[in-house]
Amino acid sequence: MPTWFAACLWLGLAGAAVAQGNGRPQSEFPVATDARLEQSGETVRLTMALSRPVEVGASVLAGPDRVVIDMPSTNFQVQPAAARKSAGVVSAFRFGLFTADRARIIIDLAQPAVVVKAESRPVRGGFGELVIELRRATRAEFQAAVAKTPSRNPEATAAIPPPAKPAGESRQTIVIDPGHGGIDPGAVVASIAEKAVVLAFGAKLKKQLEASGRYRVLMTRDDDRFVPLAERVGIARAAGADLFISIHADSLTQAQEVRGATVYTGSERATDAEAARLAAKENQADAVAGLEASEDMQDVAGILMDLAKRETRTFSAVFARNLVEKLGGSVKMHKVPLRSAGFRVLSAPDVPSVLIELGYMSSPKDAELLNSAEWRGKAVEAVATAVEGYFGGPRAPVGKAAANGR
């Protein structure tokens, strides 16, 4: 099974994602450079130079309308700033790793279009050229193309199952969930992607918690890969986690003055409109990566929340309050720092779960802090203290293990 490699070369955030050295060396991946988007009448062409030809597949998905290009793991050395981002039917495109051995390019459509050409052809010197050609189409033509696309959801979940709690393991298990990843960058402000900011934070938090020797700490991803939302929840449940901490750093368009950290718990009813909007946006992560939304996925948060054991919610709330208190002692908090909404990633019925929005990438002040090692150190320290307070405090969740028969 090939290992993941950092493919966030266009992030400009060195060291956030670290290449894992025990699989295929990254030098074996084909390299894609020099992306170009060109329009000619009704046709738009996306081309990239490749270090060698690769196999490509194209399919179209509706709602949001997009074209998905599947290819083997690719080292994208494409400067997003250098390429035109939109032209004709194309409103944007992005690329990144999708599964352990697959990469994707996702082309967002401003208007219905069909794929006329999707190929990588050999060029002189053993190199390749990726050519994707789209033509503006009627809604009916587009829908016909969508209908021909086979269901693709199963492939994304073909990940390695997390290790179950080993017998005799007495330490508390904590699962850290850095949001987004791979093909889904999350918020992107000034070439810095949320996926890299939260991965760097998660890795530091893991180190800090492990240093105490009291916790078994797992991460839903420890490199720049895409992980579907349901799988993140699945990892926590399969690991028998005692606590699940999802890390995000979103952006608000047109609200540069809004800043500070916020702690969210899951709830079928949002505390406010902003929380509801944020949860809706985060719940789109699978769609961003080109996964189809299936009906059971749409409603999973609500259904699972109904089934959630009351003590799980109580412990989530206890930890969230702890977090707000400890974080508030060292970093700037949002003016309403403790909120809830229907985040799918917080839907495990048996694992106390919170989501931390570290700050807003849309706030220049927050963005600066999120990238500062000093701020990260302070915030990680505060979260670790909150974790200790939660497991060691007067309302320690020993009742959780007992109630669940663990």
Binding positions for Zn ion, rule: CB under 5 A: 179, 186, 248, 250
Nearer to Zn ion, 35 or 300 (CB): 300
Give me the least distance between CB of 177 and Zn ion, in Å please: 11
Nearer to Zn ion, 48 or 345 (CB): 345
Tell me, letter by letter, the H, E, C secondary structure of the chain: CCCCCCCCCCCCCCCCCCCCCCCCCHHHCCEEEEEEEEEECCEEEEEEEECCCCCCEEEEECCCCEEEEEEECCEECCCCCCCCCCECCEEEEEEEEEECCEEEEEEEECCCEEEEEEEEEEEHHHEEEEEEEEEECCHHHHHHHHHHCCCCHHHHCCCCCCCCCCCCCCCEEEEEEECCECCECCCEECCEEHHHHHHHHHHHHHHHHHHCCCEEEEECCCCCCCCCHHHHHHHHHHCCCCEEEEEECCCCCCCCCCCCEEEEEECCCCCCHHHHHHHHHHCCHHHHCCCCCCHHHHCHHHHHHHHCCHHHHHHHHHHHHHHHHHHHCCCCEEEEEEEEECCHHHCCCCCCEEEEECCCCCCHHHHHHHCCHHHHHHHHHHHHHHHHHHHHCCCCCHHHHHHCCC
Give me the least distance between CB of 252 and Zn ion, in Å please: 12
Nearer to Zn ion, 186 or 260 (CB): 186
Nearer to Zn ion, 102 or 248 (CB): 248
Q: Taking CB positions, which residue lies at the least distance from Zn ion?
A: 248
Nearer to Zn ion, 128 or 186 (CB): 186
Give me the least distance between CB of 362 and Zn ion, in Å please: 12
Give me the least distance between CB of 198 and Zn ion, in Å please: 7
Nearer to Zn ion, 88 or 186 (CB): 186
Give me the least distance between CB of 78 and Zn ion, in Å please: 23
Give me the least distance between CB of 166 and Zn ion, in Å please: 31
